[in-house]
Chains A and B, each alone.
Chain A
């Protein structure tokens, strides 16, 4: 860490920490307003049905019920989806498309009254044929989820007959050159975000102006959605997301917020809608499950000549993140993770009668990575090559091809390059191998680390890649106060990832003032400048990147003022420790406060410039971050239980603005990836499409005791500065989700000698792989 930074790189306490440890942080579900009403939703028990008759008159008469919405008295509009696209769904519809979809909304004086009212709404359904399995839904005779689309394949603009191709070079030529061709079909499971705060919105009208509090990652998008659906201007909408909660990709409350706004308008009272935990499970959004058939060609020397992948992703009946949910897997993992000139990806996004599927701590790369990294392990084994050596040899490097999402899904196809920061990849792999004592432990293929009775130990490795800058743009404002302190404004919310803290550290460093001098004001669309929100790990490059540039703009203005006061050119000045002084002559200067006062109101603004061009090649930079994980496990071959002994994981983050925050984010994804493949089974009834385990007892997220002890969880970060990132920093959170799951799978293989290509490493999944159990 260079000595010149005084705030960047420090383990400073979080700015939101005090409120959170005192229980004073006010989340959306904590908001109480005078005369506020409570909301409950009536939900369809059928996965696909037409409402023949719906009669809410008895419910409306129940004392304490203030308004009931059904499709009959609700505007027939499609809420906005990703970007400015429309979703298929209406706010409330005559046809329901998944079990649990809302058919009515009730606002009442209390939750109990609202629930009682639900029982009084009379609904007659005509059940329609439904399909839940993605491969079933692709069959020509499958029932159509949205008949108006004519097929169950979601088509983004570049799709050809429902298939998205992403191609580079010539895979057939590549396979012809290979010494070995290895292929396999792998599955990747669902995962529910289980955000600690269920979907929560509060809406309040003052005349024609709407204020909406929402637990969301994309407050501006929520505002745009409201404007579009309600037919009002953005100037009449204010969306506030002071503390959003663990969105993990999925917090876009879409139609719920519009329905709450309509209820608030109809009743003339503020309305709060908070989903129960069960509702959050069944009617928000889950990770696309996927099936990947992939084929790789390798030469004896270990190099890769061709990689073909065909990925079928379940789209659900709709998605707020559209093809984004799976598509990054196409451009990162399946095309760019490994050095290979000939790659071809074919993607299918299949619509089914299940809840929205989409981004969930990762846009497709965790799914693709879980599959491709098992294939690559098999390739390394075929070559008799150490799997870590294989990754070291073939991992992507600066100048290798990459593609951003927009050209991939909209066209025209344009390959860019990954930037110089990607050269940190080999260091990630080396460091994780060193920390995990790989060379000492790895005993070769088909040789477990240890066998003791029924218990077998194994070790496995995997690498991963993910975007750290999902487009589009972002902006920020830095407003100096007259005493030399500053406020930073950005529309990106704090969702727990540490954005407030990291942004404050960057701005303080850039302005030459103190961390404690900075206020960070986030996610209030009346006040904060436009920004797309946080997703795709863009908080650092985009959100903080814009704040950094805004701080530089403010600093420049301060220097211009100081230059005038000091009688020198601004280039002669330095700003440090709240003073602006002539370089080499620190006594000859003024305080930042004096410059602010002289300037009356100094404001710095910035809109993030993008794209970035790689000077040597003139190509567009594709920002990604990378990871490498080694897992050590012990499998009990009689019970199928897996004990995870060690997780060691290395991540490139460009520059760690605050190491504690980076470590926390790594731990989050390590824990979530463990849960994903070891225990989190999202169970949907094959016949009815009903979610059978919408609760935290039967949907099993990891507990303290399921994760390794402190000394056995090692987080490593590697710093190769990204030239366009604030002080070289970039995001790494979703990337951290791409490598741990396949590392576990590869470790299990080393332990038990059987490759699990299916979707789960649960005890039953492992016993089944060992031939001791037949899966139901």
Chain B
């Protein structure tokens, strides 16, 4: 048996792979400049915003780009704005911290602030961007289920122009998105929620800080009296991408919640997931947690809609 190649769990010891050429580094000032560079160095470059994913990957030798295009400094893309017609607009370079702390988001889209607050650590949230979190497309990405359950969209700019993609269609595989190699995500759009709507994100972890989600559940409900006129359920970390649990939603939509109904909804959602065994958890546990968390999230979201004051969400 030949070789001294790295083996599972051992990457950090013997970095392998990629040419050891000093990468070229750029700090474009506009999106157009960034696009032009991304296009020119197609396949050999990586975009850098917060760096909290890219640098980890570089340290582990998973990714060794020849060109690093730092877009973090491009001005005018870290806004958080809102209007009645269009809803919420978040610039892709808005930090996760700014999403977590935004009074606007806490008031009107609290599930997103809640998800942002549970991602990583304080230090990571100060640098990580919402665009980066979404484009890194980890199956367990914390903002993803919340965005999907909110019906969010991704606005993408490329050399050929702009397009908008539903967030639930944006994730195409583990670490893969609908972005072409010369496109950049520039904005996250969240439509206005109907009145009497509220959402909850529950992240299942072993520890209470620092951990990736073993299973993540986001639920947004809209109430009409005691009936759920609408519900969206999104699951993270239990499939190759974050997913909608559509069959579970179907069972619940236009119904009143009962224990039995919720049991069925939870069970169905668990059936829609396809979790894996890995060092973090077992498929069996993950599947069971989907059921437990979906039921809990629905109950909590419904409770939240009953509060008459503006909801600040379940934040620290």
Contact = CB atoms under 8 A, between A and B. Distances in A.
Complex A–B touching at CB under 8 A: yes
A683 B15 CA distance: 22
Contacts of A691: 9-10
B20 A45 contact: no
A116 B20 CA distance: 8
A124 interface: yes
Contacts of B1: 46, 49, 124-127
Interface in A698-740: 698, 700, 702-706
Interface of A: 40-43, 45-46, 49, 99-100, 103, 112, 115-116, 118-119, 121-127, 276-279, 282, 638-640, 678-679, 683, 685, 688, 690-695, 697-698, 700, 702-706, 762-764, 767, 772-776
Contact of A764 (B8, B279, B281): B281
Contacts of A702: 207
B209 A123 contact: no
B4 A688 contact: no
A118 B3 CA distance: 11
A45 B210 contact: no
B107 to A, nearest CB: 26
Interface stretch (B172-180, B193-201, B234-242, B282-290): B282-290
Contacts of B292: 638-639
* The 4 A-B residue pairs with the shortest CB-CB distance in the complex, in nearest-first order: A705-B208, A278-B12, A703-B209, A45-B7
Contacts of B3: 45, 123
A158 to B, nearest CB: 38
Interface in B257-284: 277, 279-282, 284
B14 A43 contact: yes
Given A49-B1, A688-B7, A700-B210, 9 more contacts: A45-B6, A99-B7, A278-B11, A639-B292, A679-B207, A690-B7, A692-B9, A706-B208, A764-B285
B14 A774 contact: no
Contact of A121 (B4, B16, B208, B281): B4
B208 A703 contact: yes
B211 interface: yes
22 contacts: A43-B13, A45-B3, A45-B4, A45-B7, A118-B14, A119-B14, A125-B1, A276-B13, A278-B13, A279-B13, A691-B10, A692-B9, A692-B279, A693-B9, A697-B210, A698-B279, A700-B206, A700-B207, A704-B209, A705-B208, A764-B282, A767-B285
A263 B288 CA distance: 54
A126 B279 CA distance: 28
B212 interface: yes
B206 A705 contact: no
A330 B278 CA distance: 36
Nearest to A705: B208
Contacts of B12: 276-279, 694-695
B9 A763 contact: no
A700 B16 CA distance: 26
Contact of B284 (A118, A688, A773): A773
Interface centre among B9, B208, B282, B285 (most CB of A within 10 A): B9
A74 B147 CA distance: 59
A683 B207 CA distance: 17
Interface in B1-32: 1-16, 20
Contact of B10 (A639, A690, A767): A690
A276 to B, nearest CB: 5
B70 interface: no
B204 interface: yes
B14 A115 contact: yes
Given A697-B210, A703-B207, A282 B7 contact: no
A638 B2 CA distance: 48
Interface of B: 1-16, 20, 204, 206-212, 277, 279-282, 284-285, 288-289, 292
A726 B210 CA distance: 43
A119 B16 CA distance: 7
Contacts of A42: 4, 14
A18 B199 CA distance: 48
A519 B277 CA distance: 55
B207 A698 contact: no
Contacts of B7: 45, 99, 688, 690
A123 B282 contact: no
A638 B280 CA distance: 18
Contact of A706 (B207, B277, B285, B288): B207
Contacts of B281: 764
Contacts of B284: 773-774, 776
B252 to A, nearest CB: 19
Interface centre among B1, B2, B280, B289 (most CB of A within 10 A): B1
B211 A694 contact: no
Contacts of B289: 639
A100 B280 contact: no
B257 to A, nearest CB: 16
Contacts of B279: 683, 692-693, 698
A45 B206 CA distance: 29
Nearest to B3: A123
Given A121-B4, A126-B1, A43 B207 contact: no
A767 B287 CA distance: 13
Given A125-B2, A703-B209, A690 B8 contact: yes
Contact of B285 (A116, A124, A278, A763): A763
A763 B281 CA distance: 10
Given A46-B1, A702-B207, A694 B288 contact: no
A763 B309 CA distance: 36
A774 B211 CA distance: 23
A702 B8 CA distance: 25
B16 to A, nearest CB: 6
Contacts of A122: 2, 4
A118 B209 CA distance: 36
Contact of B207 (A115, A278, A640, A705): A705
B288 A772 contact: yes
A702 B205 CA distance: 13
Nearest to A54: B4
B14 to A, nearest CB: 5
A334 B53 CA distance: 49
Contacts of B210: 697, 700, 703
B270 to A, nearest CB: 13
B132 to A, nearest CB: 18
B266 to A, nearest CB: 10
Contacts of A278: 9-13
Contacts of A704: 209
B204 A685 contact: no
A670 B211 CA distance: 21
B169 to A, nearest CB: 29
Contact of B212 (A121, A126, A697): A697
Contacts of B207: 679, 700, 702-703, 705-706
Nearest to B11: A278
Contacts of B206: 678-679, 700, 762-763
B282 A776 contact: yes
Nearest to A118: B14
Contact of A694 (B10, B280, B282, B285): B10
Contacts of B209: 703-706
A277 B60 CA distance: 12
B9 A112 contact: no
B218 to A, nearest CB: 17
A698 B280 contact: yes
A639 B2 contact: no
B10 A100 contact: yes
A734 to B, nearest CB: 25
